[in-house]
Amino acid sequence: MSSPQEPYQPGSTGSGPQPLPQQPQQPPAGNQPAYGQAPYGQPQYGQPQYGQPQPEQPGSGPFGLPGEPPAKSRRKLWIILASIGGVLLLVILGFIILVNVAGSATNQAKGLADGFTKLVIAGDSSKAYDDYLDPALQEQLSKESFIAGVESLGMDDTCEPAYNDLQVATENGVKSADVAGLITCDGKNVDLAYRFEGTDELKMTNIKLRPAA
């Protein structure tokens, strides 16, 4: 009988040398990436690659200076400027209309006073009474009394009227004009004061003609 074979012992002779188990190859130390780093040639997550442009921040300009305002802000600015311009235009137009209305009323009052005064100077007091005096004033002052009072002043063709105070107003749709002045004649002067009132057509509601002191 053959004796059982003993297991192979190192250094012993037997069936021949057995190959050693291979160890896993380790990559070179220089190519092994550190813990948490991406492989060579690939950028880490969240880190920009070298040479790539950074996105510009809205509203920023070069060297950190503020850039142009957004289009929405510019539009809002134009709306504000247009509103201010519209208000100023309305104010100017209102002032022009007010000046024109006041000037028209003043010219109308002056024209009434001048037309009435020229009639009484020329001795046509009857026409002046009929055309210019308000019916309410005619009830208080008869035509005969009016004509007699004008004749007592002794005015003639040398007399010239001058109006030094003229005020116009409108209240509750009723226009009024107060006119004061002086009639200058050879050797004497006559004070005058008229008041005209009305809505559409102004009529004389008060009159004063007397020798100047």
83-134 pLDDT, tens digit per residue, is: 787 777 666 655 454 444 445 667 888 899 999 999 999 999 999 999 999 9
Look at residue 200 in the predicted model and tell me its pLDDT.
Answer: 80
pLDDT band at 81 (very low <50, low <70, confident <90, very high): confident
Prediction pTM value: 0.53
Q: For each of the domains in the chain, give its residue range(s) and CATH number, in order of start.
A: 98-211 (3.10.450.50)
Question: Which candidate, 116, 132, 107, places its Cα nearest to that of 201?
Answer: 132
Strand ranges of the sheet holding 188-198, from the earlier edge strand across to the other edge: 160-171, 174-185, 188-198, 203-211
Look at residue 20 in the predicted model and tell me its pLDDT.
Answer: 52
DSSP secondary structure string for all residues of 127-139:
HHHHHHB-HHHHH
Mean pLDDT of the chain: 74
37-73 pLDDT, tens digit per residue, is: 545 555 555 555 545 555 555 544 444 445 555 566 7
Q: At what angle do helices 143-151 and 125-132 cross, to 10 degrees?
A: 130
Does the pLDDT value for residue 191 go beyond 60? Answer: yes
